[in-house]
Amino acid sequence: MSRRILVIGAAGMIGRKLVERLSKEAGTSLTLHDVVPFEGGRQSVVSDLSTAGEAEKLVAGRPDLIFHLAAVVSGEAEADFDKGYRVNLDGTRRLFEAIRKAGGDEAGSEAGSYRPRVVFTSSIAVFGAPFPEAIDDEFLGAPLTSYGTQKAICELLLSDYSRRGFFDGIGIRLPTICVRPGKPNKAASGFFSGIIREPLAGEEALLPVAETVRHWFASPRAAVGFLMHAAQLDSTKLGARRNLSMPGVSATVAEEIEALRRVAGADAVRRIRRQPDPAIERIVSGWPQNFDTRRALALGFRADSSFEEIIRIHLQDEVQKSPLPPRARA
Amino acid sequence: MSRRILVIGAAGMIGRKLVERLSKEAGTSLTLHDVVPFEGGRQSVVSDLSTAGEAEKLVAGRPDLIFHLAAVVSGEAEADFDKGYRVNLDGTRRLFEAIRKAGGDEAGSEAGSYRPRVVFTSSIAVFGAPFPEAIDDEFLGAPLTSYGTQKAICELLLSDYSRRGFFDGIGIRLPTICVRPGKPNKAASGFFSGIIREPLAGEEALLPVAETVRHWFASPRAAVGFLMHAAQLDSTKLGARRNLSMPGVSATVAEEIEALRRVAGADAVRRIRRQPDPAIERIVSGWPQNFDTRRALALGFRADSSFEEIIRIHLQDEVQKSPLPPRARA
């Protein structure tokens, strides 16, 4: 593991779990960044990455490894066009440019001496319907949201900056994270977690879509495992295509519910209340359902084994508050 | 055909031919733009689209139809990283933003009253090896040049701005244009045209690659036909995927030479001199060879019928200087 690590977006759900994991590594110096004030320890920086000059400050310490997790989420990027492009596209581009300039490439054509590993969290939102039965590694990126567009553009920049030798980048497209800890939120995808999390906590959850709806999931623990693996991967194995769909679990809502029954019994399942919402049905119908992630699997990325495991991880890491065990990697 | 038409990049090879074609349309008002001074008639504007404020001036007249052909070419975008991104990405984004703002979308979320058709010339450089036998409409964009990256990013922006209702965009990926008129140049692709153009003019041409090399071609006349068809297409037929690979002719160098023999005889063919260039061989080996463009064909875009027709068009439009006949459309 590298010594000087910068985590951008450290206050988010995945960011906090990643930092917890990185804190256990010996001999590392962690710098944590977010746009909102957060509990980050000694080397914490609060700033807006999309403001001129801020990326340069973050890169001035020449971190060997940079995790870039920061983003305005899908709903907000759709509601506020300017903010989405400013944060998700311009902020990322400023970071990439700051790294290039830190390497001495003022002239614009030659790679410099500084070439950190950059791990960027992209999203399956770079894909848009209609889909094949499983989205493989050669399927086009044709997003149907501004958020997905911004992530797809950053993927292209990451590949080009890596090809030019400005940094050593890898973009990982995270599945929908499930079970998300915390309170229910208004995100269209919220129910996928809600119908597990709330019943396990003895509370009622609303199910707005049909049980036949299928989607692509990874646990928070698997997501942290992807990030850790991406940080240490031999990038010569990637070739020019530096963005990868991460493996996951494809499950229908019915399969989610059946897994909940096996883990927590029929009482838990009875706390799910059907309340169809055509607006959410329509949004979700445009989302990916299944992937063929053979490149990521061949490179050693490992998903959860089943939706049941996803529920058990939630119980271990969130409900029982047991310490996060190190994730086994192939 | 719309009435107020803006052509950006009007001084380029395709731009000039498009303007010649548009000049024949009745009832149109043409505004021509380029970064270099050019012979453009009354309403000609010379400015740098990537400079703040210039795009707004171009859009102030609220053209109904905008052709955006301007770009720094592949070799220059590779040699000058900053210039390529400034012109090809930032210039295009400034244009798109100016259109959005002209429509009254200051707040950032709602489409305004001004919604012109925007026809953007993209490139098959958005694709990078390895390729399937024919690149279809669902193959991923994974460019291997900064130019291809910039075009791919503009395609994504065009789709998102169209989806949001800021304009009605269509991006067309042009094949390699052949036969390019004019003098031989240093572009790696130059020989594809040179081995036809020079022998037809009684001059020697160098062939730097093996005759088995296959590539994807369209005549300048076909390219203008694509642009005219894109300008009047019913865009509701496009759905969300607004970028299309244009049809073309897939031909090997051997097939090019055989077509030359049929059109101009063995004497012309003898003016091609083999002079292998490993650097050009290597560059060309990463380029697309063949496409399956069924979406564009279904939408009525029509390619040249053969490489022989491509040569005959060159003779008609450039050598014999006959007037450009209107292109038949399906």
Q: What are phi and psi of B231, to 5 degrees?
A: -70, -25
Residue A161: closest C-alpha in chain B? B146
* Full set of structural domains in chain B with CATH: 4-175+219-247+289-304 (3.40.50.720)
Span B244-273, average pLDDT = 98
**Average pLDDT for chain B:** 92
- Provide DSSP, A215-251: EEEE-HHHHHHHHHHHHHS-GGGTTT--EEEPP-EEE
Using one digit for the tens of pLDDT, what is the confidence trace for B304-316?
A: 999 999 999 999 9
According to the model, what pLDDT value does residue A116 have? 97
- Give the model's pLDDT for residue A84: 97
Q: Is A196 left (phi over 0), alpha (psi -120 to 50) or beta?
A: alpha
- Chain A residues whose CB is inside 8 A of the B144 CB are 163, 240
Q: How many CB pairs under 8 A join A and B?
A: 74
Q: Does B149 touch chain A (CB under 8 A)?
A: yes
Name the residue with higher pLDDT: A200 or A319: A200
Residue A130, preceding peptide bond in cis (omega within 30° of 0)? yes
| CA–CA dist B314, B196 (Å, integer) | 9
Quote the tokens at residue A232.
Answer: 């240490």
The first and second tokens of residue B49, run together, are 């689209």
What's the token pair of residue B11?
Answer: 């001084």
Strands B65-68 and B117-123: parallel
Which of B105, B139, B163 minimises the CB distance to A140? B139
Per-residue model confidence (pLDDT) at position B272: 98
Q: Which residue of B has its CA nearest to A135?
A: B138
* Cα distance between the two ends of chain B: 17
| Angle (nearest 5°) at CA A91 between A87 and A97 | 165
Residue A2: per-residue pLDDT? 56
Mutate to test the interface with B, among A85, A131, A136, A156 (most CBs of B within 10 A): A156
Q: Measured between beta carbons, which residues in chain B are less than 8 angstroms from residue A128?
A: 240-241
Residues near A32 by beta carbon (within 8 Å), at least 6 away in sequence:
A7, A10, A11, A15, A19, A38, A40, A41, A43, A44, A45
Residue A114 annotated among the catalytic residues of the structure: no
**How much is the average pLDDT of B216-227?**
98
- Residue B139 contacts A, CB cutoff 8 Å: yes
* pLDDT recorded at residue A285: 87
Of B162, B216, B197, B145, which Cα lies nearest the Cα of B13?
A: B197
| CB-neighbour burial class of residue A325 (10 A; exposed 0-12, middle 13-18, buried 19+) | exposed
Sign of CA dihedral B297, B230, A154, A75: negative
Tell the burial category of B214 from Cβ atoms under 10 Å away from its Cβ (0-12, 13-18, 19+). Answer: middle
pLDDT at residue B327 above 70? no
- The token pair that represents B78 in the structure block: 């590779």
- pLDDT band of residue B330 (cuts 50, 70, 90) is very low
Does B156 score more than 50 pLDDT? Answer: yes
Cα B222 → chain centroid = 10
What is the rounded average pLDDT of the residues A179-194?
Answer: 89
Interface check B319 vs A, CB under 8 A: no
Do A28 and A3 form a contact (C-beta atoms < 8 A)?
Answer: yes
Contact residues, chain A, for B139 at CB < 8 Å: 138, 140
The terminus-to-terminus CA distance of chain A in angstroms comes to 16
Minimum mean pLDDT among A242-251, A276-285, B131-140, B172-181: which range?
A: A276-285
Within a 13 Å sphere around the CA of B287, how many CA atoms are in the beta-carbon half? 22
Instruction: Report the residue of chain A nearest B241, measured CA to CA.
Output: A142
> Which whole-number Å values give the CA distances from A155 to A142, A149, A163, B6, B214, in the listed order?
13, 10, 12, 32, 29
* pLDDT for A175 beyond 50: yes
Q: Tell me the residues of chain A between 66 and 85 that have a Cβ less than 8 Å away from chain B.
A: 79-83
**What would the pLDDT profile of A13-56 be if each residue is shown by its tens digit?**
999 999 999 999 888 999 999 999 888 777 889 999 999 999 99
Residue pair B286/B144 in contact by the 8 Å Cβ criterion? yes
Q: Looking at chain B, which residue has its C-alpha nearest residue A142?
A: B241
- The pLDDT value recorded for residue B328 is 39
CB contact under 8 Å between B80 and A142, yes or no, is no
- Catalytic residue selected from B85, B114, B147, B161: B147
What number is the average pLDDT over the span B269-288?
93
In whole angstroms, what is the distance from residue A231 CA to residue A226 CA?
Answer: 9
Predicted local confidence at residue A43, as pLDDT:
83
Q: Please answer yes or no on whether B240 and A109 come within 8 Å at the CB atom.
A: no
Measure CB to CB from residue B240 to each of A109, A144, A146 and give the nearest one. A144
Mean pLDDT of chain A: 92
10 Å CB burial of residue B231 (0-12, 13-18, 19+) is: buried
pLDDT (average), residues A209-236: 97
Contacts (Cβ under 8 Å, ≥6 apart) of A138: B132, B139, B140
Which residues of chain A lie closer than 8 angstroms to B128, CB-CB? 240-241
With helix as H, strand as E and coil as C, how does A24-77 read? Answer: CCCCCEEEEEECCCCCCCCCEEECCCCCCCHHHHHHCCCCCEEEECCCCCHHHH
**What CA–CA distance (Å, rounded) separates A27 from B88?**
43
Residue B83 pLDDT = 97
Mean pLDDT of A311-320: 95
HSE (side-chain half, CA atoms, 13 Å) at A278:
0
B133/A contact by beta carbon, under 8 A = no
CA distance B91 to chain A (A): 15
Q: Which residues of chain B have a CB within 8 Å of the CB of A83?
A: 108
Contacts of A139 in chain B (CB under 8 A): 138, 140
Interface residue B194 vs chain A (CB under 8 A): no
- Residue with tokens 């006949």, as numbered in its chain: B325
CA-closest candidate to residue B176, choices B196, B150, B200 = B196
H helices of B164-238, in order, are 190-200, 220-232
Nearest-CA distance from B8 to chain A in Å? 23
Minimal Cα–Cα distance from B198 to chain A, Å?
Answer: 34
Q: What are phi and psi of A100, to 5 degrees?
A: -60, -45
Residues of A in contact with B132 (CB under 8 A): 138
**CB–CB contact A160 B149 (8 Å):** yes
pTM of the prediction? 0.94
Interface with chain A: mutation pick from B87, B146, B156, highest number of A CBs within 10 Å:
B156
In angstroms, the CA B85 to CA B97 distance is 16
Q: State the pLDDT at residue B323.
A: 47
Q: Least CA distance to B84: which residue of chain A? A: A108
> Where would I find the beta strands (DSSP E) of A175-329?
176-177, 205-207, 214-218, 243-245, 249-252, 272-274
Query: Shortest CA distance to A3 belongs to which of A121, A131, A159, A116?
Result: A116
Residue A322: pLDDT band (50, 70, 90) is: very low
Tokens of B117: 């058709």
Region B112-125 average pLDDT: 93
Which chain A positions have a beta carbon within 8 Å of B153's beta carbon? 153, 156-157
In chain A, the percentage of residues whose pLDDT exceeds 70 is 94
pLDDT in tens, A133-144: 999 999 999 999
Question: What pLDDT sits at residue B188?
Answer: 84
Q: Residue A211 carries which DSSP code?
A: T
Write out pLDDT tens, residues B47-101. 999 999 999 999 999 999 999 999 998 889 999 999 999 999 999 999 999 999 9
Q: Is the pLDDT of residue A221 over 60?
A: yes
Question: Could you tell me which chain B residue has the CA closest to the CA of A108?
Answer: B81
State both tokens at A41. Answer: 């320890």
Do residue A108 and residue B142 have CB atoms under 8 angstroms apart? no
Q: Is the pLDDT of residue A226 over 80?
A: yes
Percent of chain A having pLDDT more than 90?
82
pLDDT at B112: 57
Q: Does A88 touch chain B (CB under 8 A)?
A: no
Q: Which of A72, A81, A87, A145 to mutate to test the interface with B (most CBs of B within 10 A)?
A: A81
Query: In 3-state terms, what secondary structure has residue B215?
Result: strand
Q: What is the pLDDT of residue A286?
A: 87
State whether A141 and B140 contact (CB < 8 Å): yes
* pLDDT score, position A329: 36
Q: How confident is the model at residue A327 (pLDDT cuts 50, 70, 90)?
A: very low
Q: How far is CA B298 from the centre of its chain?
A: 20
B156 touches chain A (CB under 8 A): yes
Cα separation, B153 vs A2, in Å, equals: 32
Asked if residues A67 and A49 have their Cβ atoms less than 8 Å apart, the reply is: no
- In 3D space, the residue among B120, B100, B324 whose CA is nearest the CA of residue B220 turns out to be B324
User: By mean pLDDT, which of A73-82, A243-252, A269-278 is the weakest?
Assistant: A73-82
- Note the residue count of chain B: 330
| B98-110 residue pLDDT tens | 999 998 764 444 4
Mind listing the pLDDT tens digit for each residue in B238-254?
999 999 999 999 999 99
* C-alpha span between B228 and B25 (Å, rounded): 11
